[in-house]
Amino acid sequence: MPDDIRILLAEDSPTIRRYLSSIIEETVGMRVVGEARTGDEAVKMVADLQPDVVSMDIKMPQMDGLEATRRIMASHPTPVVVVSGLLEVDVHLSLQALEAGALAVVGKPPDRKNPAYANKVRELIITLRAMAGVKVISRRAYPRPTDETQESGKAFVPVPNDVIRPEILAIGASTGGPSALNRIFKSLPSDFPIPIVLVQHMPHDFIAGLAHWLEDTTPLHFEIARSGLSLKSGTVTIASGTAHLAVLRRGNGLVARLLPDDGTRRYVPSVDVLFESIAKICAAASIGIVLTGMGDDGANGLLTMRQAGAHTFVQDEASSTVFGMPRAAIEKQAAQYIESLGDLASKITKLV
């Protein structure tokens, strides 16, 4: 059908290729238009077939999925979804593929007899369908923002040190987030003077890999959140994929608190939950940032932070992989500043 989502499968295993193809072909509104056995074939087939989205394996002969993703994003930008077997080495490579321009990572569905089969297939199909509609930008360079991308009258003026100084930085991100976070954290010093808390939408199985990857590639230290964990300067505490992350005050410091999902939030973990807790606990002594991502998670929470006196930022459209979350925050007038990805680290550093 002409309106079907056209998918290119890049997978070296014939068995897994047939398996994934059967899952996709059984889904109404989706069809496989090509099957690549190597990364080199995937790059060529993207140019020839112009699919709506690529399902990309990582381990492939001749050219792996990492290099294939990088070349696709440089020559024929196309939404790429990394479909990984969740081996530890694959997690690290998958995150490198996100840095190269892939939009999302999902696990390969298990055997049809596995109890997790239905949920994993649903996750794969939803991700492929959602990413197929994303307009991606070339990864050859990050474009500089124009004057039109800046909110009128919101030039950045650092707050003097004798006014309220921030005691925590909170960040929310989704699609395109890992590479954006990597770029920001690389530009922050190892002795960054306040704690950082982070919600990144991605499968729970990849959160530990994300923490390890960022630990290896940036000066900061990373921990997975657990209830009662003290939030420390120079450390990024990342929400797990199974509970909401909130912040509490204990004595003179701040600690993490994990909250079970009650079914009222669209996302677990929720950026809104994190931001709302910080607005309540830290008020004006905080910084909130909404980065690239689909949907609107974080918009209401960032508005709550701004109303409490916090400094609030969103990533600009020119440097965002997907402008959904930043746009939602801007539309709610939650953003005090709209900044390019390349400028965010310096602006944050000036504030703290």
Chain segment 312-349, per-residue pLDDT in tens: 999 999 999 889 999 999 999 999 999 999 999 999 99
Three-state secondary structure call for residue 38? coil
Tens of pLDDT along 2-16?
Answer: 589 999 999 999 999
Residues 6+ away with beta carbon under 8 Å from 4 = 29, 30, 31
CA distance 344 to 342: 6
Of 146-155, 171-180, 275-284, the range with the lowest mean pLDDT is: 146-155
Look up residue 287 and give its amino acid: I
Burial (CB < 10 A; 0-12, 13-18, 19+), residue 29, is: exposed
pLDDT computed for residue 142 by the predictor: 40
Give the pLDDT confidence of 196-241 residue by residue, as tens digits. Answer: 999 999 888 889 989 999 999 999 999 999 999 999 999 999 999 9
What is the average pLDDT value for the chain, to the nearest integer? 89
User: Higher model confidence: residue 30 or residue 156?
Assistant: 30
Token couple for 280: 């309540």
Nearest to 288 by CA among 28, 301, 161: 301
If one compares 157 and 6, the residue with the highest pLDDT of the two is 6
29: left (phi over 0), alpha (psi -120 to 50) or beta: left
- The whole-number pLDDT of residue 135 equals 78
**305 close to 197: Cβ distance less than 8 angstroms:** no
The per-residue pLDDT for range 79-118, each reduced to its tens digit, is: 999 998 755 566 777 778 888 888 888 888 988 889 989 9
pLDDT at position 87, please? 55
Nearest to 196 by CA among 306, 336, 351, 307: 351
Q: How confident is the model at residue 155 (pLDDT cuts 50, 70, 90)?
A: low
Task: Indicate which residues carry an active-site annotation.
Answer: 174, 201, 297
| pLDDT over threshold 60, residue 144 | no
Cβ-based neighbours of 17, under 8 Å, separated by 6 or more: 9, 11, 35, 37
Domains of the chain (ranges; CATH) run 5-132 (3.40.50.2300), 147-351 (3.40.50.180)
Span 262-304, pLDDT tens digits:
888 889 999 999 999 999 999 999 999 999 998 999 999 999 9
pLDDT tens digits along 42-88: 999 999 999 999 999 988 988 989 899 999 999 999 999 999 875 55
**Conformational region of residue 78, where left means phi above 0, alpha means psi within -120 to 50, and beta covers everything else:** beta
Give the pLDDT confidence of 68-78 residue by residue, as tens digits.
999 999 999 99
CA distances, 126 to each of 9, 24, 27, 28, 70 (Å): 16, 11, 11, 12, 24
